[in-house]
Structures are given as C-alpha cells and as structure tokens.
Amino acid sequence: MSQIKHQIENEVDENQTKIDAALVVVLMCAYLFSTNEQVIYILIYDLLVRIYMTPFLSPIYIISLILVNLIEFKKRVADTRAKEFALHVGLTMLLVALFTELVFQSSVALLLFVSFTVWKIFEALKDICFACRFYEMLARNKIEVESL
C-alpha cells in the first residue's frame, strides 16, 4: 500500500504543467510589455510557495488544476523530480533577473526574462522542458541532485 502511495506522489500531470507554463507566459508577457515589477513578485511568490510550502497556496497551480479538471484531458504522468528541479531553476532565474533589474543592469535582466519566457513558451506549446531535459541528462550520467 505505501509503495502505491509513494508512486502516486512522485507523478505529476503533464497537461497541468503545460497549462502552468501557458499561464506563466501570459504573466511574463504582461511584465515585458508593462515592466510592472509586481508581476515578477507574483511569479516569485508562486514558485516559492509551490516549492517550499504547498502547491495549494499557489494561484497558478490552483488555476491550472481547475482548468485541467474542466477540460478533462486524458491524464499523462511525468516524474516529479525533474519538474521540481525545473521549478528551482525557474525560481533561480527569476530571482537573478529581479536582482539584476534592481541593481540597474536592465539589459541582463531583460535577457533573463526573455529567455525564461521563451523556455516557458516551448514548454506550453511543444511540451519541451529544458530544465527537465537537463535533469534527465544528469541522471543518465549518474549525477544525482541531492538537495535544492
């Protein structure tokens, strides 16, 4: 029984992550066109609570969960560890980009924000998660990520 429970906890629905990515793209485009830093703070909050607390405090997670249940996609599962690694990479990129923006390195911040947005567009449209692929490459080479 515990093995089944553990197996279910280590799976995530790919459809929900695609909707997550699409919502992040919408927010990132809103930031890139308005340069309103509050959008970045919302994204950072969302990732922080999803990683370190519970995903049920994350507005993007809740909206994507509702949309997946409304649309009733056929469930496609993926490994949670790769997606968790991707969340950490995204959070790090956003924090570094925000820091560079706050220290008046706007061109570096813009490059990071745009690259993050492009990565999320690929995830939303083509189901390509670059950080997940990087995690899988590390796993294939017997490199284990112990703690994030």
Count of domains observed in the chain? 1
- Its domain, for residue 108, covers 2-140
Share of the chain above pLDDT 70, in %: 92
What are the DSSP E strand ranges found in 27-120?
77-79
**pLDDT tens sequence across 71-118:** 877 888 877 888 899 999 999 999 999 999 999 888 999 999 999 999
Residue 146 clears pLDDT 80, i.e. is over it: no
Position 146 in a domain:
no
Least confident of 20-29, 30-39, 71-80: 71-80
Residue 27 clears pLDDT 90, i.e. is over it: yes
Phi-psi region of 13 (alpha: psi -120 to 50; beta: other; left: phi over 0): beta
* Contact predicate 109/101, CB 8 Å: yes
Position 145 in a domain:
no
Read off the tokens for 51. Answer: 């990683």
Task: Say how far apart CA 136 and CA 35 lie, in whole Å.
Answer: 34
Position 82 in a domain:
yes
Position 112 in a domain:
yes
Position 148 in a domain:
no
**pLDDT at residue 144, as a whole number:** 84
